[in-house]
Chains A and B, each alone.
Chain A
Amino acid sequence: MTPGTDTAPPIRVPGSGVIARLACGVVQPLLSRTVRRIAARHPQLFARLGPHQRTDFLIDPVDLPFALHLRPDPAALIFRAVPRDAAPRAGAVIRGRFLLLLELMDSEEDGDAAFFSRDLEVSGDTEAVVRLRNALDDVDGSIAEEAAAMFGVPGRAVLARLRRAYSHDYERKTA
């Protein structure tokens, strides 16, 4: 585990505790399978990460009941859902709405613009975050669509539903 530097208090959302643990249990098998396949298809990702292949990233979609722990080490890849109250001490933390993080991963949104607007928060090792951003940005196409396609028609339907649900949820809250 890399030394932690995130000092920002986590944003409290409904669904911590039992619900978070149940949600993590449901999505975890899918996450593990997905990240291994994506890594195998895009090996160039790892070169851009350089020394931060072994950094622990906490990716925190504030409107989901859990956070995500990523350690992009090609020799021992970790991508797992974690309840916020059991999250590892991370070297870098990336925090924002689920849909925004999804769109940033796919370069549908610009990370600098999301940072300027304060919709995206980063803390901890800034170089690690910059490297991860640049590594993901060098992938052609949509990682989310690619991941969904691994599960066929149901996978694509779930992704479409997630996009709609979290888009509408955000619009409702900001209206």
Chain B
Amino acid sequence: MSLAELICPAGTPAALRTAVDAGADAVYCGFQDATNARNFPGLNFTPDELAEAVAYAHARATKVLLALNTYPPAGKVDLWRHAADTGARLGVDAFIVADMGVADYIARTHPQMRLHLSVQAAASSPEAIRYYCESFGVKRVVLPRILTIPEIRQIRGEIPCEIETFIFGNHGLMVEGRCSLTNYLTGQSTNMDGVCSPAEQVDYARHADGSMSSRLAGFTIDCFGPEEKAGYPTICKGRYTAPHRPEGYYAFEEPVSLNLSRLLPELIEAGVHAFKIEGRQRSKSYVRGVVRAFRQAVDDIRAGREANIADLVALTEGQKQTQGAFETKKWR
């Protein structure tokens, strides 16, 4: 049976303490720069804050994973190398990386450090995952959210490392680490700058009838009716009109969150080693609620009890949830 570690998000030191206190086995976080994929204003850690966070977590037997999961632009690798050096000095337990150059630097410079392969690397085949394991000593892969449980079970038997899967939170099915939609409209890159829909280019307009438009870089990407639930202002979750769909439709994906609470026993049985909760950009309230709920569920399953997980739909995007491809490839 896998250990079913619970890997929890933290966007601030207070959120990290909240996650630790709520029962996280490990907390993942990032610096206040482009080295991680949640480079949002006012979010993340300074080196001093990370040092205190590591001490707080380790005193409570919780690991800290540092996300260095963006791609350095050509010739601009110093920021990532410096972040890796700082993380190693501060005693984080592992780095979450996507870029081969970053992985290679850490493998050579800090060979004692544990490497996890980020979902941003989009490694979904045994061949790709084995390449990262053999070349850089990767110990764990975070799988893209496009695989069924039987596929995960099959991959588990063909790779020499642990598997981590997302179980809750934002559900983006673009080829992860390759999405250029934000870059197309804003000039900033999700993969290299760490910003999807940068806040400074997002605005909302409330209309007289109670409806609300969300815009990115001046382009309207959705308009929610007066009673309609809203989603994130990301292009992939936008609703667009087209000559053949004048009523407007979700061209890429729908605003919906992943929730695999009912599939936890099957994931454990398939050999998944760790469960990841998305949401470094979310509040302490979200962290507290989601981590507590999944902590209880995992403990119940480990003890042979049926997990009775709390209703988390209020915390989901658009207040809708799905089991996505984990349940069936036909989910959409």
B14 with A138: CB separation less than 8 A: yes
- Per-residue CB contact flags for chain B residues 223-262 toward chain A (1 = under 8 Å, else 0) read 0100111111000000000000000000000010000000
B208 with A9: CB separation less than 8 A: yes
Q: Given the complex, which residues of A lie within 8 Å of B15, measured CB to CB?
A: 137-138
Bound CA span A111–B42, Å: 15
Bound CA span A127–B13, Å: 20
A134 with B208: CB separation less than 8 A: no
Q: Given the complex, which residues of B lie within 8 Å of A123, measured CB to CB?
A: 203-206
Tell me how far the C-beta of A104 lies from the nearest C-beta in chain B, rounded to whole angstroms: 8
A126 within 8 Å of B by Cβ? yes
Bound CA span A139–B284, Å: 10
B284 with A107: CB separation less than 8 A: yes
Q: Given the complex, which residues of A lie within 8 Å of B11, measured CB to CB?
A: 134, 137
> Looking at A7, A48, A127, A139, which has the most chain B CB atoms within 10 Å of its CB?
A127
Bound CA span A129–B42, Å: 10
B204 with A139: CB separation less than 8 A: no
Contact A137-B284, Cβ < 8 Å, known A8-B206, A121-B212, A126-B204: yes
B12 with A110: CB separation less than 8 A: no
List residues of B (5-61) whose CB comes within 8 Å of A's CBs: 11-15, 17, 40-43
- Per-residue CB contact flags for chain B residues 272-308 toward chain A (1 = under 8 Å, else 0) read 0000000001111110110000000000000000000
Bound CA span A60–B282, Å: 22
A134 with B14: CB separation less than 8 A: no
Q: Which residue of A lies closest to B233 (CB)?
A: A126
Query: Which of B64-72, B131-139, B314-322 contacts its partner?
Result: B314-322
> Looking at B42, B202, B227, B319, which has the most chain A CB atoms within 10 Å of its CB?
B42
Tell me how many residues of A have a C-beta within 8 Å of chain B: 37
Q: Which residue of B lies closest to A122 (CB)?
A: B204
B12 with A134: CB separation less than 8 A: yes
> Looking at A50, A129, A134, A137, which has the most chain B CB atoms within 10 Å of its CB?
A137
B14 with A139: CB separation less than 8 A: yes
B173 within 8 Å of A by Cβ? no
Tell me how far the C-beta of A101 lies from the nearest C-beta in chain B, rounded to whole angstroms: 13
Taking a contact as CB atoms closer than 8 A, the residue among A113, A118, A137 that contacts B315 in the complex is: A113
A135 within 8 Å of B by Cβ? yes
B285 with A110: CB separation less than 8 A: yes
Q: Given the complex, which residues of A lie within 8 Å of B229, measured CB to CB?
A: 116-118
- Per-residue CB contact flags for chain A residues 90-131 toward chain B (1 = under 8 Å, else 0) read 000000000000001001111111011110011111110111
Contact A116-B230, Cβ < 8 Å, known A48-B42, A134-B11: yes
Sampled A-B contacts (23; CB under 8 Å): A8-B206, A104-B283, A107-B14, A107-B285, A109-B285, A110-B282, A110-B315, A113-B314, A113-B315, A116-B229, A116-B317, A121-B204, A122-B204, A126-B203, A127-B41, A130-B199, A133-B42, A133-B283, A134-B41, A134-B43, A135-B42, A137-B11, A137-B14
Residues of B within 8 A of A (CB): 11-15, 17, 40-43, 198-200, 202-206, 208, 212, 224, 227-232, 255, 281-286, 288-289, 314-319
